[in-house]
Chain A
Amino acid sequence: MTRVIEYRDALNEAMSEEMRRDQRVMLLGEEVAEYDGAYKVSRGMLEEFGAQRIIDTPISESGFSGMAIGATMVGLRPIVEFMSWSFSLVAADPILNNAPKMLYMSGGQFGCPIVFRGNDGAGGQLGSTHSWCVEGLYSNVPGMKMVIPAFPADAKGLMKTAIRDDDPVFFLESERLLSFKDEVPEEEYLIPFGQALVRRPGTDCTIVSFGRPVHFCLEAAEELAKEGISCEVIDGRTIRPLDIDTIVESVRKTNYLVVVDQSWSFGSPGSEIAAQVHQHCFDDLDNAVARVHSADVPTPYAVELEQAYLPNAHRICEAVRAVTYTA
């Protein structure tokens, strides 16, 4: 049985269910309690779980991220909300330099089972400092897992897995998707990390993406189908671990790959996938892997400029036609 709910409510359900199940889980961040979260993701949670577990913090990203690390050392499992992942940059030391290394440095004693979560990505006209797609920058760091769901059902199932995971998890939500509604199962379920999903089967070209741009890929595939190009769209769902097998399997079938990644191209998940696919599928590819990224400049503020800067269906279609020699 399923019902249709918003992406934000899927996240809320996952956190609430896990908090009912496990007293060690708590949520902290700016505006998460009294205000129900700046984007209403934690609606009603203060009422249910109380101020001990749903905690409004000062505007101190570095402070509450670092404190969460300490709390894990005595057995707690905090969920840390960044109002936007853009603000996590203020907390770079705790989230990149401490949390993912603590297990290593303590010889396996102090893992950091923290879920760091919040809005990631541009497209909301928030200007260059407020529009980070941190998957490019952060996925480089070993010791953390990175989840980036495109659909409400994945948001829920992956969030529950993230909360139960014993490593730090960077959970990248999209403000643009919070009100997006889709079917979510009634009964309890978890989605394991490292399992990509074929969202649309096809035979002529593989398109792989993660997070919000998956929707642009589906749009592009629809458009290209009208031209007789059958695209297989893969939703990666987690960037670390990366399910390269599903991608490779698809490329062996279609012989072409377009990677769509909203972060900048240099040293990104997109470049990583391209490199791995070239390695695994060198003899299967009939053209070099194409990548569609954001332009290699700071995120523009004006709406038309921002749209031109981001990957979009038009640009994905162009890339598919080009790699498949149908341009």
Chain B
Amino acid sequence: MPITKALETQIDHISILDEHGNFDEELGAGLIPDEDLVKLYEHMMICRQLDEVAFKLQRSGRMGTYPQNMGQEATSLGAAYMLDPADWMVTCYRENCGLFWRGLPMEKILQHWMGDERGNQIERSLYCTPIAVPIGTQMLHATGLAWGAKYRGEKQIACTFFGDGATSEGDFHEAVNFAANLDIPVIFFCQNNQWAISVPSSIQCSAPTVAQRGVAYGVDCLQCDGNDLYAVAWCMKKAIESAREHHRPMFIEAVTYRLGDHTTADDARRYRDEEEVELWKSRDPLNRMRTRLMGLKLWDEAREAELKERAERTVAAAVERAETIEAPELSDIFNWTFAEVPEQIALQRDTMRTSSIGQDPSQIASEQTTSA
């Protein structure tokens, strides 16, 4: 018997607007109306400004650890732009730009990283889940959300975001497998920013693309230039159609780069070459969008200057709002452990003490609150 091919596969790579300003008229046609372009660009610029301010706030002790989004703005933004406002966005922690597009007030992000979990309590009407810190866990939640929506006969789909490193967790493989086998309308959006803290993506995945991981589970996969807002939008359009119309999940690998440190607690200069960073700076998603806008005569130096100033004001105002939010009550910690506060927890709340369950609270002065 001759040896036959059991499988031949290929992964398409999508690039529409490259870093030299070349634009693929065919793929790009009608994808993003010109009137939206300016607004999208402004979002990226404001998000970048937030990163700069947040970094300084952290360094001056006004904010906790913060993960910059710098260099990756086009990924989550392109996805959020293409999704319906009622589709779920199930994120990790590097999707600010998309969340702002969705309508998350900037002070919420600031409040969260300033160390107040109320910043992570996102208004339900925005269809975003809390920022997920345990790597990978959110992908299964997204799969469950989309599964539930399908079960209820709704048109809603889910899009979940995660890094290249997160594809090493079992959760990723289980989520994609479920989605594929049960026809669940979820989009897996991988931000391959080349690094997981100090570990290069080659240690997470030794295949030439991350996208092909999806092939193994039987989902359609696409790779795109993640710094190209058009390419992201193009892939999202395909994935949304597949999910909404056919309940088929899709995997998108957006190839991008983390221009900043992993978080403000990191110093990336210790483990990566300056040349690599410089190369990726030349592929910055903001620059190429600016060049495009100028080419379309939608933008000029004066508008750029005005935007810079507006971004500064916007971020400064958000910082001011975040910093003037009243501190939470100490007794707040007892509010949301159960749907209804049980007697034992009410007792702890009322006495603010945390010693033995079942002990007589009168043993301990009841009015005392604890010292911070």
Contact = CB atoms under 8 A, between A and B. Distances in A.
A42 interface: no
Contacts of B337: 296-298
Interface in A98-153: 125-130
B122 interface: no
Contact of A307 (B117, B169, B357, B370): B370
B57 to A, nearest CB: 15
Contact of B165 (A59, A61, A126, A314): A59
A75 interface: no
B354 A309 contact: yes
B190 to A, nearest CB: 13
A90 B271 contact: no
Given A59-B165, A63-B170, A318-B353, A307 B345 contact: no
Given A31-B199, A35-B198, A291-B355, A322 B344 contact: no
A89 B363 CA distance: 36
Given A307-B372, A315-B354, A30 B199 contact: yes
A127 B204 CA distance: 26
B296 interface: no
A31 B263 CA distance: 14
6 contacts: A63-B168, A89-B134, A90-B169, A297-B337, A300-B117, A315-B355
Interface in A289-324: 289-298, 300-305, 307-309, 311-312, 314-315, 318-319, 322-323
Contact of A301 (B116, B270, B371, B372): B116
B222 to A, nearest CB: 23
B134 A90 contact: yes
A327 interface: yes
B334 A297 contact: yes
Contacts of A309: 333, 354
Interface in B296-336: 327-328, 330, 332-334
Nearest to B114: A302
Interface string B94-137: 00000000000000000000011100100000000000011110
Interface in A273-299: 274, 288-298
B369 interface: yes
B368 interface: yes
Contact of A300 (B168, B197, B199, B333): B333
A127 to B, nearest CB: 6
A304 B168 contact: no
A56 B168 CA distance: 13
Interface string A212-255: 00000000000000000000000000000000000000000000
Interface residues of A, number: 57
B325 to A, nearest CB: 11
Given A35-B198, A300-B333, A318-B364, 15 more contacts: A30-B197, A38-B197, A58-B204, A86-B134, A90-B136, A130-B134, A291-B359, A293-B356, A301-B120, A303-B372, A304-B328, A305-B328, A308-B370, A312-B370, A322-B363
A34 B199 contact: yes
A62 interface: yes
B370 A323 contact: no
B249 interface: no
A288 B363 CA distance: 11
A34 B203 CA distance: 12
A130 B117 CA distance: 13
B364 A34 contact: no
B165 to A, nearest CB: 5
Nearest to A86: B134
Interface residues of B, number: 48
Nearest to B135: A59
A294 B115 CA distance: 19
Residue of A30, A125, A305 most packed against chain B (CB within 10 A): A305
A203 interface: no
Interface string B54-89: 000000000010000000000000000000000000
B197 A127 contact: no
Interface in B187-212: 196-199, 203-204
A97 interface: no
B354 A301 contact: no
B166 interface: yes
Contacts of B372: 303-304, 307-308
Given A63-B170, A302-B327, A288 B359 contact: yes
Contacts of A307: 370-372
A161 interface: no
B364 to A, nearest CB: 5
B348 interface: yes
A58 B203 CA distance: 6
A252 B168 CA distance: 53
A38 B134 CA distance: 15
B7 interface: no
A275 B266 CA distance: 45
